Amino acid sequence: MSCAPGEPCEEGVKRRRALIVLGIMGALFIALSAASFLDSRNQVVPATVSYAGYDAIEGKRVFQAWNCMGCHTIVGNGAYFGPDLTKLYGKVGPAWMEAFLPSAGAWPTSGAVQLQLQNAAVAAEAGVDSIDAYLAKYPAAAERITRRGAHATLMPNLPLSREEIGHLIAFLKYTSSMNTEGWPPKPRVDGLAFAQAAPTSASPQPAPIAAQSAEPASEAARGAAVARDTGCTACHASSTQRLVGPGWGGLYGTEVALADGSKAPADDAYLTESIVAPDAKIVAGFAPHMMPAYGTMLDEGEIAAIVAYIRSLGGEHP
Ligand code: HEC
Ligand code: HEC
C-alpha cells in the first residue's frame, strides 16, 4: 500500500489496527492452549477410575488389543455389529460383566451372576452382596437373565485372562461414568416390544429349579436343570464338543488325560472334585483357573445330581 499524492494517508493507522488484532488473536491462542492443559470441567479422567484394583487406562489398552471396537461402538466410535458399550457398566453392574466376559458365547444365568457376588471385591463394587438386591439394583442385568440367560450369544468366546477381564471392566466403568451429553441416543422403537426380540421357542428357557414338580423325573434330569441354571452350560456341552471347557458327552467312566501327563478315571469322585476344586486336576489341553470353584455355591445334593446327569450322558458304565 502506498499513499498517493494529494490523498489523506491512512497507512500508519491501518498497520496499527492490524497489529492490535494480531496481538488479540495471539493472546487468545496462548490462553486457550494453556486452558487445554487444565483438568476438564467435572469430567472423569481414566487415571482416577479403578475397579477392584484394576486400572481403567490399562483396560483401554486391552480393549484396543482385542479390537472390541471392530464389533462394538463406544463413546461414539466403532462398528455396529455388537451393541454400544459406553453406558453398559452402570446398567448391568460388575457381577453381570464378570459372569459374561469369560464365556461371552452364552448369556449368564442368575446362578452365574450370584457366583461372582461371592467375590468380596465384586460385591463391594456392586454395593450389594445378595443376588436379589443385585437384580433390583441393576434391572438391565435382571432383564438379560430372564430373557436370554443360558441362550447362545452372537459374540465369540474370547480367551481373555483374569487380569484382562478386570482391566476391561475398569475401562467400561470409566466410560459409563463419563458425561456423554446423552450419547448413545435412545432408539425410538421399544426394542423389547418388537415381536422378533422375543425368545424363540426353538431353544426354550430352562425352568427354574424351584418351579419343577415335587417329584423330579430323575436325579439326572434334576442335575441337567441345576447345570443349566448355574451356568455350567456356558462352558460345557452335553456332547463331546469343546466349548470353553471339555464336553461332557461320553466322559463318564473313561480315562481322562491330565495336563501333568497322568490319567484319572472319570468316576463320581473325580467329577465331584472337578466341580468343587477344579484346579486340583487340569484336563490336558486346557488352562488352569478357567473354571470357578462351586463348592460354596452348590450343596452336596446338587453336585450329586450334576454327577448323575454327566453319568447319564454316556461313556462306559462301570
Ligand atoms: C466379532 C465381533 C465381536 C467382538 C470382537 C467383540 N464382541 Fe462383544 N458382542 C458382540 C455381539 C454381536 C454382541 C451381542 C450378542 C447377542 O446379542 O447375541 C456382543 C455383546 C457384548 C456384551 C454384552 C452387551 C449387552 O448389552 O448385553 C459385552 C459386555 C461385550 N460384548 C463386550 C465385548 C468386549 C469387552 C470385547 C473385546 C474384548 C468384545 N465384546 C468383542 C460381538 C463382538
Ligand atoms: C468359565 C467356564 C466354565 C464354567 C462356567 C464351568 N466350567 Fe467346568 N471346566 C472348565 C474348564 C476350562 C475345564 C478344563 C480345565 C480343568 O480341568 O479345570 C473344566 C473342567 C470340568 C470338568 C472335568 C471335565 C473332564 O473332561 O474331565 C467337570 C466335571 C466340570 N468342569 C464340571 C463343571 C460344572 C458342573 C460346572 C457348573 C457347576 C462347570 N464345570 C462350570 C470351564 C468351566
Does residue 244 line the site of ligand 2, with CB under 6 A? yes
Summarize pLDDT for 255-291 with one digit per residue, the tens. 999 999 999 999 999 999 999 999 899 999 988 877 8
**Which residue has its alpha carbon closest to ligand 2 atom 11?**
245
Instruction: Give the mutation target among 157, 235, 243 for probing the ligand 2 site: most ligand atoms within 8 A of CB.
Output: 235
Summarize pLDDT for 68-114 with one digit per residue, the tens. 999 999 998 999 999 999 999 999 999 999 999 988 988 999 989 99
Q: Is residue 59 a contact partner of residue 174, using CB atoms and an 8 Å limit? A: yes
Q: pLDDT grade, residue 2 (50/70/90)?
A: low
Determine the pLDDT at residue 199. 61
Does residue 307 line the site of ligand 2, with CB under 6 A? no
Q: How many angstroms from the chain centroid is the CA of residue 29?
A: 44
Summarize pLDDT for 34-55 with one digit per residue, the tens. 988 877 667 888 889 999 999 9
**Which residue has its alpha carbon closest to ligand 1 atom 42?**
155
**Which residue has its alpha carbon closest to ligand 1 atom 34?**
68
User: Would the pLDDT of 223 be above 90?
Assistant: yes
Q: Is residue 53 a contact partner of residue 105, using CB atoms and an 8 Å limit? A: no
Q: Which atom of ligand 2 is nearest to the CA of 266?
A: 27
Q: Which of 188-192, 284-288, 303-307 has the lowest mean pLDDT?
A: 188-192
Summarize pLDDT for 168-188 with one digit per residue, the tens. 999 999 999 998 888 777 766
Does residue 304 line the site of ligand 2, with CB under 6 A? no
Q: Is residue 259 a contact partner of residue 284, using CB atoms and an 8 Å limit? A: yes
Q: Is residue 34 a contact partner of residue 108, using CB atoms and an 8 Å limit? A: no
Spacing, Cα 280 to ligand 2 middle (Å):
12
Spacing, Cα 311 to ligand 2 middle (Å):
15
Q: List residues near ligand 1 (CB under 6 A).
A: 66-68, 70-72, 81-83, 85, 88, 97, 100, 144, 153-156, 158, 168
Determine the pLDDT at residue 103. 87
Q: Which ligand is nearest to the CA of 307?
A: 2
Does residue 145 line the site of ligand 2, with CB under 6 A? no
Average pLDDT of the residues of the chain: 87
Q: Which amino acid is at 210?
A: A
Q: Which ligand is nearest to the CA of 171?
A: 1
Integer Cα distance of 54 and 17 in angstroms? 57
Determine the pLDDT at residue 7. 77
Determine the pLDDT at residue 314. 80
Supply 69's cell numbers.
471396537
User: Would the pLDDT of 212 be above 60?
Assistant: no
**Which residue has its alpha carbon closest to ligand 2 atom 12?**
245
Supply 48's cell numbers.
482416577
